Structure 1
Amino acid sequence: MKRRVLCMLLVLAMAVTCLAGCNRKKSVRVVIGSSSTSGDSYLIADTVTRYLAEEMGWDAKVDPVGAAEMFEILRTDKGKGDTIAIFHDMTYLGVVFGTYGEEYALENMTVGPRVAQNPGCCFAAKADAPYNTLVEAAEYLKANPDAEIRVACENGSVSTLCYLAYYNWVLDNYGQEVADQLRVIAAGVTSEKRQMLWDGNVDIIFDDYYGIQQYVGVDDKQLAMKCVGLLDEIEGAENAPTYAEQGITFNGEPFALSKDFLVYYPKDIDADFAKAVDTAAAKVCENESFKSDMAKLNYRGAYLDSAAAKDFIYNKRTEMTQLIEACPDFDYLTQ
């Protein structure tokens, strides 16, 4: 009798264990190439992950590991779907700028769907600067040959890319003398750039349009800012002239840039897993609650399936590589 009861208890325990295992959600680690939990990289990845996890039945968490570790994870992961990445243009720019080796190139990973965009890249100056746009800044330098404008950028980043488009345009339209009156000051995170501006150590900084709104129109002259160049169109943005509106071009075309956020996998990712994420990401980007949450953060969903996203990001890489190769390197610009 005791043996029978013991057997029944063992069977029951095994059944409970099996049921628990069947109901356990798949654990997925979402890595990003940033170590910050306050910037667009984390906020977008976290928002996308929450909705994607609901669609996929995941137990998922964003891990801000930084670019170097993210690249290495994508290079070495076995591709079972336990780890994915969500990151912006620095995924390819780090290699194009030479910060990271070719082993981390797009060809050595699998491109997943595009899930979001941040159109808020901009350049800002103090409110009392003697120019209101980047074009006016070039005119100011032309009229004042002994003046210089110091621009805070992060080496090998989206900010450098946006600056190079402006520098190249100044060089083409105002010549080398005026272009040499522009000087890059190497800077790090956004808070550092802003402090450099307020301290008078730089004249223009790369920032986020919505991030500077708290300083636009304020009475404190020390903190007051204005946008002098927006990289892409933003609905409702006032007193924020875009590059295109100012006539800033590259290769004869108006220059525009938003940060594009894509899902990235290890090179040997399971095909069925990647296909399921494509389907789920499409649903997420159509979800009205997701759209609302993204809008509150001043970002937007921007779905492209994996095939279209791959073509898009490869073409964007080609265009941005042409821009980088047309301009001096960062060391020259900081002289």
Structure 2
Amino acid sequence: MKPIWGKTCLALVVSAAMGVGVSAQAADDCPLPGNLRVVIGSTSTGGDTYQVSSMVVDQLADKLDINAKVDAVGVMPGFQALQRSRHGNTIMIFHDGAYLGNLYGVNGYPNIFDQYVVGPTIAINPGNAYLVPKGSPYESMSDVIEAAGNGKQIRVAIQPGSVSEIGFSALKNAVRLKYPGKESNIVAVNTGSQADKNQLLFDGAVDMINGSVQANEQYTQLPADDQKAMRFVWLTAREDTIQQTNESGMGDTTREQLLGYTTPNVSVPMDDSQDFTFDKEFFFLYNKDMDPAAIDCIDNALSDIYDQGEIQEQLKKAFFVPDFKPSKEASSYLKEKNDQNQTIINDLEG
């Protein structure tokens, strides 16, 4: 077994090798199972949640010398499996959709801050984007806001109750701030997969879609007369987040070009003093009764992994941004993020 669980566990391994007796109390300092199931809030093994989880979990398993399997079970089965796992045999990795679903009142989404332990953040997908056809009259988000304010309905394809909807809500809020009462001109067309959203744009059934740099960049390279040709108009990620990606960017779109679609180059006001930005972040979730020592063990192992630097290179190659925050810091940070987005949603509903 690899002596890599921090000072206490290192002492246990050394003591065992020397034939020194180890108390049961000390052995419990790292109470992780030899087989760990990591459920994710997605059923896709090709999506960003699975990609991030696989990279991080593989390194975690190697670091802790355990077997760990990423299981793409989906949102509700993931929460249910986590609820049943009081002894830490099952943990979960998900993204901001875990709390946004609850804020939007989606059936089955719990309040994660009450029902679970929020663990460490591990990565950001900086590619959350909004796109229009290349032939669209809307050259910018300012054009979209102005059109809605002047009575034009803008149809936006989103997946309801998740990361794609919070950008939609921010756009409606921006219209409300500048043109009170006109925010209803930003119209949601609720759908499911990215392929479904793309098809609605291809067919001219919507004016704008939520997409991603990873999934949609290829369509932005098509000639304008191609029915599938798209154009980015907004990346919700913070400018600092995009700055941390590789200079080459994604596909044929450089980092410098991507920065042109972020604040401050694109303005979607959140209030009178700041623009809305949103990083899609991935993090661990634990059962409420999971042993705090096991949580600390994972925190310490991940801290070592991120200190070594290899995981950063892996993540960046796949156009993710490394984003490790230990559990206590991550929990406070994500709760603040939850509360900020709740304000936007409540303002629109009020």
1:242 aligns with 2:262: yes
Partner Cα distance (2:120, 2:207) in 1 = 38
| Change in CA separation of 1:47 and 1:84 when aligned onto 2, cut-off 3 Å | same
Cα distance, 1:280–1:75 mapped onto 2, change above 3 Å = same
TM-score for both structures, normalised by structure 2:
0.81
Q: How does 1:290-305 map to 2 (within 5 A)?
A: 290-305=311-326
5 Å-filtered alignment, 1:57-206, equals 57-78=65-86, 80-100=87-107, 104-142=111-149, 145=151, 147-177=152-182, 179-206=183-210
Please, which runs of 5 or more residues in structure 2 have no aligned partner?
Answer: 1-32, 244-254
Letter of the 2:216 partner, please give it. Answer: I
Q: 1:121 to 1:289 in 2, by over 3 A?
A: same
Q: Deviations over 1:105-157 (max 9, x none)?
A: 322111111111112111001111112211112234456x4x42210011111
Quickly say closer, same or farther: Cα 1:94–1:140, change in 2 above 3 A: closer
- CA gap of 1:243–1:105, structure 2 versus 1, over 3 A, is same
Deviation at 1:163, TM superposition (A): 0.7
2 CA distance for matches of 1:102 and 1:196?
Answer: 27
1:101 shift after superposition? 5.2
Residues 222-262 of structure 1: per-residue CA shift (max 9 Å, x gap): 11111111101323141642244333221332211011111
Q: Which stretch of the first structure deviates more once superposed, 56-65 or 95-104?
A: 95-104
> Aligned with 1:327: secondary structure?
helix
Counterpart of 2:292 in structure 1 is 271
Q: Does 299-308 or 99-108 show the bigger shift?
A: 99-108
State the aligned residue count: 301
Q: TM-score, normalised by structure 1?
A: 0.85
The 8 Å contact of residues 157 and 190 in structure 2, kept in 1 or not, is answered as: yes
Give the gaps of 5 or more residues in structure 1: 1-24, 330-335
Compute the displacement of 1:49 (Å). Answer: 0.7
**Structure 1 residue 230 corresponds to structure 2 residue 235:** yes
Q: 1:321 aligns with which of 319, 331, 342?
A: 342
Deviates more, 1:185-194 or 1:288-297: 288-297
Which residue of the other structure, out of 44, 49, 57, is the alignment partner of 1:41? 49
TM-superposed deviation, 1:319 = 0.8
SS of residue paired to 1:74:
helix
Cα separation, 2, equivalents of 1:69 and 1:106: 18
Q: Cα–Cα, structure 1 residues 247 and 61, in superposed 2: closer, same or farther, change >3 Å?
A: same
What amino acid maps onto 1:213 in structure 2? E
Counterpart of 1:19 in structure 2 is none
The answer to whether the 8 A contact 1:29-1:83 is kept is yes
The answer to whether the 8 A contact 1:230-1:242 is kept is yes
CA distance in 2, matches of 1:328, 1:309: 28
Who is 2:17 aligned against?
Answer: none
The 2-side partners of 1:128 and 1:105 are apart by 42
Letter in 2 for 1:54: D
**Counterpart amino acid of residue 151 in structure 1:** V
Q: CA deviation at 1:221?
A: 1.9
